[in-house]
Structure 1
């Protein structure tokens, strides 16, 4: 008499294995991650190492986190994957038509993060446990309801605190490269008030094209009394030292 395992065909085994992967509790994500830009014209790069800019997001514009899964078929998790100091994002390059979504990489210091509920009928590839997107009509792709609700809540927090506001930007000759002004004490205070952790603020200071910090005794006292940590102040001082 053959045992149960002996009569399982290779195809049946693949089906059983695939079902186990799809229904595994470890793959069942109930929350995804997104982020809103706190930097005017924050660049989106083609990959984690390149300086090739494929898009930008202005202050208050938001992107979704994405992590590619190792078992193929285009499967993803809706969380920020970090590599070489950048995070993997999915974004809509055209706010008007929203015909498709793209992927890129951003500096984490350019984003303030939020989470959103899954299960809003997003468009998913095989193996995806959660998606921030939904279909609208035949071709258009938009952020789904869950993502938009969490995004709008985060944007409301940013506006209510009055610490970040949309700024005018310059995109001459179709060049998406950011024209960044020097980072100042007020910028650091704004990031602290928005709720960014030290790691993200330090990353932004290190990535800034230019800084103009007031690190006089009075300036440092003002930073400390408004909640800026020693680690962030030390990073500000290190950047200031490099200018000399």
Structure 2
């Protein structure tokens, strides 16, 4: 069933949404479930620094936990940031699609459990990923016929699902393009994306921010914010498996 585009924002009304993922915590003595297939953790960074180390400046933490995960066809590097919490949780976030590539959480029995699916190689994401771990947008879910009207004007978005619907912003939606890692402090990472007016047929320039942060025992928080310079529609969603 197609979703009707009903989320409208104007320059005076930024759109913000927050997702909170709390890892499953088995009861003591219960067997840990097996790791999901295709999930992986890339090579461990050379440093074991965590966000709890007070003497390390943010710039040093960034240098030690930010790596190049892959490259676009034109040679542009795609960076990946590693987040760690005092509870022992670890997340890996990359610039392509603002993807959460890996999330590992501690278990009561002392082990650790991977709880999201991810590919081990960057090349698999542009070629094969069904928005795995990505931020879907400009409009997540389906717009029937790819058509919507706003302030008396009709717009046409790309039809990328069987020629009938516009799904997750079209074939080159937010989950299938590079973002920019603009901040990283060891336990959180913020990525940014600018979608110009007319991008995929949508009105208004959209400035989008996605912030991942690890906290608590253990919790991954995802905050999505969008602002525009003209009325438009937007529906952002995190899309982990």
TM range (shorter): under 0.3
TM-score, scaled to structure 1: 0.25
Task: Give the greater-gyration-radius structure (CA).
Answer: 1
Higher helix share: 1
